[in-house]
Amino acid sequence: MTRFSGSSLVHTKPIHTANVMNCTLWCYGLVLLIRSAAVVRGVPSSTDELNTLMLQLHNSARQKLLACQLEGQPQAKSMPDLVYDQGIADKAQSWADNCTVGHDTYNDRKTDTFATVGQNFAGNTDFSSAFDSWFAEYPYYNFDANTCAASKTCGHYTQVVWAQTTHIGCAFTECPNTAQFPYGKSIVCNYGPAYVLSMFFVLRCAMPQMSPPNYDDDGGDDDDDDDDETTIIW
């Protein structure tokens, strides 16, 4: 195309709408690809959204046991509110960054403060839903027998309400959408100390001594995948 600019002739190349659209679509696709492969890493702190919420949810659940407000579960004589610990939160972040279903080892997560550290994991897009999936196991725990109901999981619940646990630290990573991890966020809560005493609850009446349920070697409970394909706990 030729046009006049003052006293000069200027040759310009016509802009084809199809080329612009193709470029736009290609660029948009590239952005989506980059986003799908991106890992957004949390930075745990005592005031971040995840830890603020998890402290509130955990302590509310623990107080229900103290007040004997959880049907089918015994009343606890003592159930201290959990407080945040940066060390176990940093360890939780290290595992969350892997975007892997399951647990790290006890050695991986122990700190100078806590020689034993428990752990709950969830793959979920929502923090509250992750906690709910752990706490919802309470009907499956039989305190008298110290077992979970047949073919059911209750180890996440028992960690939430373990009476001797005093500290918690949680972390998350926004993971790429892959066939191995299509769950959105890798959410990890670590607990200090972990299962170190013989009973989950200290009751107002005497109860026979019991050992904690059996757990697999990596420190997590040996459960099956959640039925919801977009959510998983371990």
Per-residue model confidence as pLDDT tens digits over 143-178: 888 889 999 999 999 999 999 999 999 999 999 999
The residue among 37, 15, 32 whose CA lies nearest residue 181 is 37
**Predicted TM-score (pTM) above 0.85:** no
Cβ partners under 8 Å of residue 26, min gap 6: none
Regions of the chain where pLDDT drops below 50: 4, 7-12, 20, 23, 25, 27-36, 196-227
pLDDT score of 1 = 56
Q: Is 147 helix (H, G, I), strand (E, B) or coil?
A: strand
Query: From its phi and psi, is residue 104 left (phi > 0), alpha (psi between -120 and 50) or beta?
Result: beta
Query: How many residues can be counted in the chain?
Result: 234
Q: What is the largest CA-CA distance in the chain?
A: 104
CA 208, CA 40: separation in Å to the nearest integer?
47
Angstrom distance (rounded) from CA 96 to CA 206:
40
For each of the domains in the chain, give its residue range(s) and CATH number, in order of start: 2-36 (no CATH), 39-233 (3.40.33.10)
Q: Tell me what pLDDT residue 229 has.
A: 52
d(CA 192, CA 178): 32
